[in-house]
Structure 1
Amino acid sequence: MVSRFESKKRKILEQLNTAASDYHDLSPKGSVDELIMPLIDAINRTDGLVTTSSCSGRMSVFLEGKKRGTGNHEQLYGSEDARAGPGGKGGGSWLYISHDPYKAALECSPDSQYMPMFGLQSRSSTLPKPPDPNTRYIHLKFEPMILHVLTASTDLSQRVLTAALSSGFRESGAVGLAPFKSGEVNPLVAIRSTGYSFDAIIGRQDQNGTNIALVDESYLGILIGIANDRFTVNAERIERLRLAFLQQFAMEQGIPVASSTDTNSNRRKPAWEDSETRKGRLKEEGLARQHALQVIAATTSSEDVSSTPERPTSLGDLFN
Structure 2
Amino acid sequence: MQEAGDEARPDRSPAGCIDVQIRDLVDEINAKPDYITTSSCAGRCVVYLEGGGSKGGKGGGRWLYTTHEAHTLQLDEQDICKTLGLSNGPAKFPQDPETARYVHFKFEPMILHMRAATVAAAQKVLTAALQAGFRESGAQVPGGRFPLVAVRSSGLALDCLVGFIEGDVVKLMVEPNYLQTLMGVASKRFEQNTLRIERFRQALAS
**TM-score, structure 1 normalization:** 0.60
What is aligned with 2:7?
A: 15
Q: What is the distance in 2 between the residues matched to 1:193 and 1:100?
A: 18
Matched-pair contact (CA < 8 Å) for 2:88–2:172: yes
Whichever residue aligns with residue 42 of structure 1, its letter is E
Any idea what SS the aligned residue of 1:40 has? helix
What is aligned with 2:154?
A: 194
Any idea what SS the aligned residue of 1:142 has? strand
Q: Matches of residues 276-291 of structure 1 in structure 2 within 5 Å?
A: none
CA deviation vs aligned residue, 1:41-92 (integer Å, no higher than 9, x gap): 22111112011111110000000111xxxxxxxxxxxxxxxx2343x23331
Q: What is the distance in 2 between the residues matched to 1:148 and 1:173?
A: 10
Moved more, 30-39 or 190-199: 30-39
Whichever residue aligns with residue 120 of structure 1, its letter is L
Whichever residue aligns with residue 160 of structure 2, its letter is A
Q: Structure 1's 128 and 165: CA in aligned 2 closer, same or farther, altered over 3 A?
A: closer
Q: What is the distance in 2 between the residues matched to 1:230 and 1:119?
A: 22
Percent identity of equivalent pairs: 40
What is aligned with 1:75?
A: none
Matched-pair contact (CA < 8 Å) for 2:140–2:149: yes
Q: Structure 1's 95 and 108: CA in aligned 2 closer, same or farther, altered over 3 A?
A: closer
**Deviation for aligned residue 1:242:** 0.2
TM-align CA RMSD? 2.1
Q: Structure 1's 189 and 28: CA in aligned 2 closer, same or farther, altered over 3 A?
A: closer
Task: Answer 1 or 2: higher relative contact order, Cα 8 Å, separation at least 6.
Answer: 1
Whichever residue aligns with residue 63 of structure 2, its letter is W
Aligned residue pairs: how many?
206
Matched-pair contact (CA < 8 Å) for 2:11–2:38: no
**Deviation for aligned residue 1:231:** 0.3
What is aligned with 1:39?
A: 25
Q: Structure 1's 156 and 236: CA in aligned 2 closer, same or farther, altered over 3 A?
A: same
What is aligned with 2:138?
A: 173
Whichever residue aligns with residue 132 of structure 1, its letter is P
**TM-score, structure 2 normalization:** 0.90
Task: Indicate whether 1:142 and 2:101 are aligned.
Answer: no
Q: What is the distance in 2 between the residues matched to 1:62 and 1:240?
A: 30
Matched-pair contact (CA < 8 Å) for 1:63–1:136: yes
CA deviation vs aligned residue, 1:16-58 (integer Å, no higher than 9, x gap): 7x9xxxxx65645443112212211221111120111111100
Whichever residue aligns with residue 54 of structure 2, its letter is A
More strand as a share of residues:
2
CA deviation vs aligned residue, 1:174-226 (integer Å, no higher than 9, x gap): 123432xxxxx3011000000011011111011x2321111222111110000
What is aligned with 1:48?
A: 34
Any idea what SS the aligned residue of 2:87 has? coil
Task: Indicate whether 1:117 and 2:83 are aligned.
Answer: yes
The structure having more radius of gyration, on CA atoms, is: 1
What is aligned with 1:234?
A: 193
Whichever residue aligns with residue 32 of structure 2, its letter is T
Matched-pair contact (CA < 8 Å) for 1:32–1:55: yes
Q: What is the distance in 1 between the residues matched to 2:12 and 2:121?
A: 27
More helix as a share of residues:
1
What is aligned with 1:99?
A: 68
Unpaired runs of 5+ residues, structure 1, are 1-5, 19-23, 67-82, 180-184, 248-320
Whichever residue aligns with residue 242 of structure 1, its letter is R
